[in-house]
Amino acid sequence: MHDDLKKAVEVLKDGGIILYPTDTIWGIGCDATNAEAVKRIYDIKKREDSKSMLVLMENPALLNRYVDDVPEVAWDLVEISTTPLTVIYPGAKNLAPNLIAADSSIGIRFTKEEFTTKLLQRFRRPIVSTSANISGEKSPAFFDEISDEIKKLVDYVVEYRQNDHTPSKPSSIIKLGPGGQIDIIRK
């Protein structure tokens, strides 16, 4: 894992794209503050840039760096969640502009998975996380289901967990609105 982490951090710092295991499924990622790298991911996925992507972070204490005003309920949701949870926050800031939704929101998930946690700690910035597929195609559940096209278009493919076939599921998604309003997008 050490060599994978070292190489992945180098690629991210250079504005590159990685293919990596997350706490849910395999993802395509880049520096969430680098607009050119984010654009490359939209191009790789053949995805409209109006469809925002989420970011991974490892430490809730960093949330205020990337969200203007964190609703109080957000801290409770993050603390009590035992399964992967993506929270869509209003008022995104300090991220690539093409990553932020038209309503200025951003989806953020705090990972507890070993590889992504260590990667985020070493990189010290949020990382984009989007499924490793062409937009509209089925999301691959395991590494061996990822298309060769995707593998060829990224700058680095992490070796760690490529043979792991432990079942996983996508995160739950909750959107926070004004006054702590909660909308459940996906259970």
Q: Which residues of 135-170 are buried (b: 16+ CB within 10 A; e: fewer)?
A: eeeeebbbbeebeeebeebbbbbbebbeeeeeebee
- State in Å, rounded, how far the first CA of the chain is from the last one: 32
- pLDDT in single tens digits along all 187 residues of the chain: 889 999 999 999 999 999 999 999 999 999 999 999 999 999 999 988 778 899 999 999 999 999 998 888 888 888 888 889 999 999 999 999 999 999 999 999 999 899 999 999 999 999 999 999 999 999 888 999 999 999 999 999 999 999 999 988 789 999 998 777 889 998 8
Total domain count, the chain:
1
Tell me the CATH number at 131: 3.90.870.10
What range defines the domain where residue 181 resides?
A: 2-186
